[in-house]
Amino acid sequence: MLTVYRRQIAIWLFICSAMVFATLIVGGVTRLTHSGLSIVEWQPIVGTIPPLNQAEWDATFDKYKLTPEYQQVNQHMSLDEFKGIFYWEYWHRILGRLIGAAFFIPFCYFAWRRALDWPLAKKLMGIFILGGMQGAMGWYMVKSGLVDDPRVSQYRLTAHLSLAFLIFIAQMWVALDLLNPRSVGGFSAAVRSLQKTALAMIFLLAYMIVSGGFVAGIRAGKAYNTFPLMNGNFVPPEIFDIQPWYLNFFNNMATVQFDHRLGAWVIAFLAPWFWLKLRAKSVAAEISAQTRLAANVMLLAIAGQITLGILTVLNAVPVALGASHQAGSMVVMATLLWVSHALRVKVT
């Protein structure tokens, strides 16, 4: 029965991946507009309905007035201005709940139709658990900004972002496997080398995503708004100013932004080299047209993402560029997964 439903399940997972992508964009705007602390309660069921009348809006605004963000930053905010930040956080949460429903309901349907074998069911249940963890981490992150400092913890923000990418990666990979199952063995040494390179690039991008989370968490993009140097230096002299030394990688704007830039430099050189290797005559017979197409899209996506990154830092992270850069990271990840998976499917 599984074979009959393979394409349907793959399409469902791609739709869920697209919803995660949309949530990432809204989440990026929510962060950049400083809207994430506007809702001070986590109500998974009741919270799906926003305030509907003046009394409810006043009560919601009064709760926000008790937070450090209002008291230290937004003391003069009007109710209409509050509604502006409220709705960004509200829709971010609603999208998260919709993803849960869009995943759980079809999962139950496919299970009822006996369309899922046990290995696939285990993978899907794992993704659903990750989704639950993501929701809990989102609230855990928000709570960190409701105590004393009107900023969320960069550690929790990075964990929240990383979980979103992990869910996206898992859904994409399972969907790709369903459409084109990977081959077991039979690849030349040259192709196996390319497979390892593609995997290394995925891990490199994961590193960049984590470092980007810390850039966002401590707002390091607001500093060192020059390129290619960082205020005249390739390596800022204040890179190890904080003691103990290891805290610089999480709390020092210079170190965090340098780490993120360093990853971009590596991938900027590695991606064209990888693309050229894929076009070599020695592997031409083993590389499908889909793989070559995926590699072309990957190279364009990386070039666009690096350009967005440069523009974002030069302009001190305006909302549109910052959100686009965050979205671009997921586009690049999708193309890298596509290339990596296509390299593991034998050409017949």
> Which CA distances in Å does 258 have to 215, 226, 234?
10, 12, 8
Q: Give the number of residues written for the chain.
A: 348
Q: Long-range CB contacts (< 8 A, 24+ apart) of 203-206? A: 204/263, 204/266, 204/267, 204/270, 205/267, 205/329, 205/332, 205/333, 205/336, 206/162, 206/165
Q: Are 260 and 211 in contact (CB under 8 A)?
A: yes
Q: Give the Cα separation of 339 and 348 in Å (integer).
A: 17
Give me the helices (H) in the chain, please. Answer: 2-32, 54-65, 68-72, 79-112, 118-143, 154-179, 189-217, 248-251, 253-278, 289-314, 319-342
For residue 230, give the 3-state DSSP assignment: strand
Q: Are 325 and 161 in contact (CB under 8 A)?
A: no
- Nearest-5° angle of CA 115, CA 118, CA 119? 110
Q: Are 268 and 306 in contact (CB under 8 A)?
A: yes
194 CB-near residues (< 8 Å, 6+ apart)? 274, 277, 278, 283, 343
In one-letter notation, the amino acid at residue 26 is V
Question: 């610089």: which residue's tokens?
Answer: 248
Q: What is the pTM of this model?
A: 0.94
Q: What is the pLDDT along the chain (348 residues), one digit of tens a residue?
A: 467 799 999 999 999 999 999 999 999 999 999 999 999 988 877 678 999 999 999 999 999 999 999 999 999 999 999 999 999 999 999 999 999 999 999 999 999 999 999 999 999 999 999 999 999 999 999 999 998 888 899 999 999 999 999 999 999 999 999 999 888 878 889 999 999 999 999 999 999 999 999 999 999 999 999 999 999 999 999 999 999 999 999 999 999 999 999 999 999 999 999 999 998 888 888 899 999 999 999 999 999 999 999 999 999 999 999 999 999 999 999 999 999 999 999 886
pLDDT for res 347? 81
200: which 2 tokens? 């290394």
pLDDT for res 22? 96
Q: Are 124 and 174 in contact (CB under 8 A)?
A: yes
* Nearest Cα residue to 88 out of 36, 46, 137: 36
